[in-house]
Amino acid sequence: MSEEKISLAGGCFWCVEAVYLQIPGVLGVQSGYMGGHTENPSYKDICTGTTGHAEIIEITYDPELLTLKEIFDVFWRSHDPTTLNRQGNDQGTQYRSAIFTYNEEQKVAALASREEAQAFFEDPIVTEISDAAHFYPAEEYHHNYYQQNKSQPYCQMIISPKLKKLGLTP
């Protein structure tokens, strides 16, 4: 079994994590922060919108079981990549749409995928595609948030419907 990593930002990391934990071929998902200038940011720091970091998930996957194309297809369907620094009621640069790549092959695939996905959106896609930077893991209580808090109102109103829409088991 081989492993690769890709990091994605598509709004609140609780939502993105819940989606990718349901995808066969995903070996692990870790919530965290990337793309900013503050070292060792905390969730409180991220919420100020001044760190430059996005809430992201770092996905470890088996490329023999799950292709980048499949990962990106889920990404484009699981959030609105046409809204700048916002997903639903979550607003700020920490909620931006972004793909952080770890090698040239991933970057080329991400750029091609973004171009292909544009056909499905009336407004321009604003998703940032950048080289992966230092990954800062989120605080422990953010990990596997949906599975541990399914009855929480945010999970019931935002995450569960998203999983159902994507045909994933909530």
Told to judge if 155 belongs to the known catalytic residues of this protein, a careful annotator would answer: no
Kindly name the residue from 12, 15, 47, 155 that is annotated as catalytic: 12
Angle of CA points 9, 135, 24, to nearest 5°: 55
CA distance 95 to 9: 7
Residue 129: strand pairing partners: 99
Task: Decide: 7 and 58 in contact? Cβ < 8 Å.
Answer: yes
Q: Which helix (H) or strand (E) holds 137?
A: strand 136-137
What are the backbone dihedrals phi and psi of residue 61, each rounded to the nearest 5 degrees, phi first? -140, 160
Catalytic residues: 12
